[in-house]
Amino acid sequence: MIAPVVQARALEERIKAQAFGLGFDLAGIARLGPAETADAFDAWLARGYAGDMTYLPRWADKRRDTRLPFPGVTSAIVVAMNYGGTSPSGAVARYARGDDYHDIMLGKLRALHQWLAAELGGDVTGKAYVDTGPILERDLARRAGLGWFGKNTNLINPEIGSFFFLGALLVDLELAPDEPFEADRCGTCTRCLEACPTQALVEPRVLDATRCISYLTIELKGDIPEPLREPMGSLLYGCDICQDVCPWNVSFAQELREPALAPRESLTGKDARTLARAILAMDDEAFRVAFKGSPMKRAKRRGLARNAAVVLGNVAEPADVPVLTMALQHDEPLVRQHAAWALSRIADRDRRADR
């Protein structure tokens, strides 16, 4: 009876070693089954906090059990990849400055799947997921021992903080699971709640996405509510503030090691105002060229141009009036509306300066 157990444990250790060799920073194993956070997720949806993300309630039933998205699987190899939390903050959230992490992570998880099949000498039924299926990834990651849910809703690991992507390879193998991460190491700290410019963290571990700057600049398809535009400041795409202030990131955030996630040349060394002006001037072809293979394309040209107008409105530099005036002729009404708001902000600043 001893030998099979030793061999099974050896396989799990080899799986993790291979995951590290592929460039992942964390790896753990979880048994698939009912999601512990399913009820909390349903309550979150019921409060309307998903906003325009209609794909979330659409598959809520499958999210309740991690065996349902891909029938027949029994275990999850859960991995995390650091995306450079020590890099300077800026107009674009750190995760989105390089190539699309979905492609990078999926490629590595599929390589892990192929290695596993070769290691076992036959096909292994399974599928890789990176934000692409009805799975509560944080739930799996905590069960795999990778960290705890921070008050900013991110999974936090005590060794590398929270600036990392999560992915999972679901397989039809009876792997011995790791011990779940049971501790809550946030203590009495509430820095993330206090730092959020739009008060999107309505209570510890509860995010109203409709107020979150990441949601407003990426997922929201329509007008950004006027009361939330000024708090966005110069953030063009995404937001890292609740992670920046977290003591675990201040102490343990890692340098970027994956070359494909390095900032693109089009973003390097450019401040928010410069980027905003460039985006407002783009036509469809320029947008496709600039953001090919980038996660920033998710917001589409109209969304990024809308965000750019808000940034220029918050910067409120009179020198940007010509750019914003040109944006009043933009082919998207959404952009024209936000450009008009930005121009009114500059006019208001000029009037205050003349008093």
The H-or-E segment that residue 314 falls in is: helix 300-315
Cα separation, 237 vs 97, in Å, equals 10
Which of 316, 287, 191 has the alpha carbon at shortest distance from 243? 191
| Cα angle, residue 169 at apex, residues 155 and 238 outer, rounded to 5° | 40
Cα separation, 245 vs 253, in Å, equals 11
Cα separation, 253 vs 86, in Å, equals 6
Position 47, amino acid: R
Name, in order, each residue with C-beta under 8 angstroms of 347's C-beta and a sequence gap of 6 or more: none
Confirm whether 65 is a catalytic residue. Answer: no
Provide φ and ψ at 293, rounded to 5°.
Answer: 75, 10
Cα separation, 279 vs 301, in Å, equals 8
- Strands 155-156, 148-149: pairing is antiparallel
Tokens linked to 249: 């990131």
Sign, CA torsion 241/246/248/251: positive
Given the residues 52, 103, 131, 350, the one annotated as active site = 131
Q: What residues are labeled active site?
A: 131
